[in-house]
């Protein structure tokens, strides 16, 4: 009877909401109690945490975690502001892999925060801190509430490593319905642990929000089998890279593999909404996500890949708005499937010379492009465009090693054109439809095969640049052309190394080919003009 009354009084006094808690007397100086394994939920205030926005609750919360993780019960945080000392005072040594500061979540922990519960960092002037950290932990769940950094009251301007949630070398982690805001560095940092350099494995995050953090919304520096669903990464600004998400292996020995972002939102991150950084990133999937910028100055690029050829990714069913450059690739290899693009897509800058930034094979299939300039420069090994739609003022500059363009639709492009103008380009243009283009639909230089395409209601169909070599134009259809269907610019047509093949094209244009050039081309027996 005595024990029952005591337990009942404790429940009322401490606000514990679940009735299945068994309490026993013990000599322990930690909490004064031992939690029975039959317990389900215990209130963090049971261990002395105040949540009043004034008291430093770091030690009380740590005691609560230490005890509840042993008993595998849920630790509940009611509404309130819990002050956390996340930093190490006067820490002169900078250690990026620091197992110190804030609260340490132990294996088998389950933290459940009320939607209005906040873990708030104490204002400090240190370069580095961890509000919440998981180090070599496993089987951990954190759900609900907010982790709040102190960037708005931070003293000094040094450092960029103040983390809201840092996960080092851990596995089987679930984070859901958690907001992480205003951190001096990253909202979330996924990293290896020392000394074993153990990586993270099997981490799931759902409905997580990273907002207004100073360096990154989230950095992924180590991990395998990571999944992010319905998460928001927004408003990162302050110090570079300033990305919503930055995937950047810790060192050259770390491989990041099997990462998926599903139905996530990337918005107004002042560097890049999504950054793929360096090599050894394998099987990255971004599916059904949105990339937006409130104004042109709020984001540099939606997706920026600056990896070596080892990085591989698939971007599918995503929406990119029209305020900033949609894609910039300066390395890696990837597929873009069924996306909506509304601004510039760049595959290597023309001035790129460093082989580390060379893109391998880039595939676009089933996408819709509106008002897009697509540029593939000479460091791009191969670009494949299949079954895409290019609607309204799109221009393609293909100056790369090889381009395969099959089964696409180009229509209502009043001012734009398709240009493959590099002398190095090997172009296959087959079974495409070009309709309602106000200028020449296709402009090519050399090493091009243009066959079985349909050109409808354009000023000109195909324009071949001066000094063209190795060009085949075969089996195309031209309807309602306003001018010459196939127009060869006549400079240096008599070059000895040229080869021009024009045959079996059908047209109701005024002329299928310049009459004055037909005779010149036919004089060289290697050319075929019919």
Q: What are 2-34's pLDDT values in tens digits?
A: 444 444 333 333 333 332 333 332 323 333 344
| pLDDT for residue 519 | 55
Residue-averaged pLDDT of the chain: 84
Instruction: Tell me the CA distances in angstroms from 486 to 398, 405, 413, 443, 482, one per residue in order.
Output: 20, 19, 19, 10, 12
Q: What is the mean pLDDT of residues 401-409?
A: 93
- What are the structural domain ranges in the chain? 39-270, 407-530
Q: What is the mean pLDDT of residues 363-377?
A: 93
| pLDDT for residue 7 | 42
| pLDDT for residue 496 | 41
Identify which of 97-106, 419-428, 507-516 has the greatest average pLDDT. 97-106
Q: Is 438 left (phi over 0), alpha (psi -120 to 50) or beta?
A: alpha
State yes or no: pLDDT of 160 exceeds 50. Answer: yes
State yes or no: pLDDT of 117 exceeds 50. Answer: yes
List of E strands, 169-252 = 171-176, 179-181, 186-191, 201-206, 209-211, 216-220, 224-229, 232-234, 243-247
| pLDDT for residue 451 | 92
For residues 259 and 226, the answer to whether their CB atoms sit within 8 Å is yes
- For residue 396, give the nearest of 365, 375, 414, 367 by alpha carbon: 375
Q: What is the mean pLDDT of residues 439-446?
A: 79
State yes or no: pLDDT of 39 exceeds 60. Answer: no
| pLDDT above 70 coverage of the chain, percent | 80
Cα(490)–Cα(515) distance, integer angstroms: 11
| CA–centroid distance for 330 within its chain | 14
Q: What is the mean pLDDT of residues 291-312?
A: 87
- What residues pair up with 226 in beta bridges, in sequence order? 203, 259
For residues 340 and 371, the answer to whether their CB atoms sit within 8 Å is no
Q: What is the mean pLDDT of residues 40-46?
A: 96
According to DSSP, the β-strands at 138-143 and 110-113 are parallel
For residues 371 and 391, the answer to whether their CB atoms sit within 8 Å is no
| pLDDT for residue 20 | 33
pLDDT tens, residue by residue, 72-90: 899 999 999 999 999 887 6
- As its CATH architecture, domain 39-270 has 3 Solenoid (2.160)
Backbone angles phi, psi at 158, to 5 degrees: -90, 150
Name which of 24-38, 312-326, 370-384, 494-508 the model is least confident about: 24-38
Q: What is the mean pLDDT of residues 282-309?
A: 90
Cα(236)–Cα(217) distance, integer angstroms: 6
- For residue 101, give the nearest of 124, 71, 79, 69 by alpha carbon: 124
| pLDDT above 90 coverage of the chain, percent | 54
Structure token digits, residue 210: 């990273």
Token pair 């008291």: residue: 55
Cα(182)–Cα(420) distance, integer angstroms: 47
Buried b (16+ CB within 10 A) or exposed e, 154-192: beeeebbbbbbbbbbbbbbbbbbbbbbbbbbbbbbbbbb
Name which of 88-102, 234-248, 356-370, 464-478 the model is least confident about: 88-102
At 311, the pLDDT band (50, 70, 90 cuts) reads confident
Name which of 157-161, 225-229, 340-344 the model is least confident about: 157-161
- For residue 280, give the nearest of 166, 369, 192, 153 by alpha carbon: 192
- For residue 73, give the nearest of 112, 29, 37, 125 by alpha carbon: 37
């Amino acid at each position: 009877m005595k024990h029952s009354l005591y337990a009942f009084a404790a429940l009322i006094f401490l606000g514990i909401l679940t009735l299945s808690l068994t309490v026993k007397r013990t000599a322990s100086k930690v909490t004064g109690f031992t939690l029975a394994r039959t317990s389900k939920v215990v209130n963090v205030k049971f261990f002395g945490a105040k949540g009043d926005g004034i008291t430093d609750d770091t030690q009380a919360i740590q005691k609560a975690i230490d005890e509840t993780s042993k008993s595998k019960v849920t630790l509940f945080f009611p509404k309130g502001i819990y002050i956390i000392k996340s930093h190490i005072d006067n820490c002169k040594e900078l250690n990026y892999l620091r197992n110190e500061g804030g609260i340490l979540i132990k294996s088998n922990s389950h933290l459940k925060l009320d939607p209005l519960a906040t873990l708030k960092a104490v204002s400090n002037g240190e370069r580095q801190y961890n509000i919440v950290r998981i180090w070599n932990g496993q089987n951990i769940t954190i759900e609900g509430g907010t982790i709040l950094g102190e960037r708005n009251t931070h003293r000094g301007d040094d450092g960029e490593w103040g983390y809201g949630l840092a996960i080092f070398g851990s596995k089987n982690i679930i984070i859901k319905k958690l907001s992480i805001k205003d951190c001096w560095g990253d909202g979330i940092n996924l990293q290896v642990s020392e000394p074993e350099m153990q990586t993270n494995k099997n981490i799931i995050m759902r409905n997580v929000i990273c907002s207004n953090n100073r360096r990154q919304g989230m950095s992924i520096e180590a991990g395998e089998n990571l999944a992010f669903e319905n998460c928001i990464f927004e408003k990162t600004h302050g110090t570079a890279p300033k990305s919503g998400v930055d995937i950047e292996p810790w060192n050259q020995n770390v491989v990041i593999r099997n990462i998926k972002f599903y139905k996530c939102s990337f918005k107004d991150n002042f560097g890049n909404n999504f950054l793929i950084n360096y090599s050894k990133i394998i099987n990255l999937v971004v599916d059904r996500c949105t990339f937006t910028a409130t104004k042109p100055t709020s984001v540099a690029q939606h997706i920026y890949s600056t990896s070596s050829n080892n990085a591989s990714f698939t971007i599918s069913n995503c929406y990119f708005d029209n305020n900033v450059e949609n894609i910039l690739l300066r390395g890696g290899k990837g597929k873009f499937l069924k996306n909506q693009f509304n601004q510039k897509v760049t595959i290597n800058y023309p001035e790129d010379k460093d082989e580390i930034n060379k893109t391998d094979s880039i595939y676009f299939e089933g996408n819709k492009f509106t008002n897009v300039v697509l540029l593939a420069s000479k460091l791009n090994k191969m670009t494949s465009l299949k079954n895409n739609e290019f609607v309204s003022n799109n221009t393609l500059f293909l100056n790369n090693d090889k381009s395969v363009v099959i089964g696409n639709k180009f229509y209502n492009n009043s001012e734009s054109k398709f240009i493959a103008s590099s002398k190095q380009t090997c172009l296959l243009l087959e079974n495409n439809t070009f309709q309602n283009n106000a200028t020449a639909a296709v402009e090519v230089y050399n090493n091009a095969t243009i066959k079985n395409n349909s050109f409808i209601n354009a000023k000109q169909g195909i324009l071949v640049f001066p000094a063209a070599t190795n060009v085949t134009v075969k089996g195309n259809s031209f309807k309602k052309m306003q001018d010459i269907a196939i127009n060869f610019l006549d400079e240096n047509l008599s070059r000895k190394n040229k080869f021009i093949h024009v045959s079996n094209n059908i047209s109701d244009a005024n002329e299928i080919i310049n009459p004055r050039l037909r005779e010149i081309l036919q004089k060289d027996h290697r050319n075929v003009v019919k």
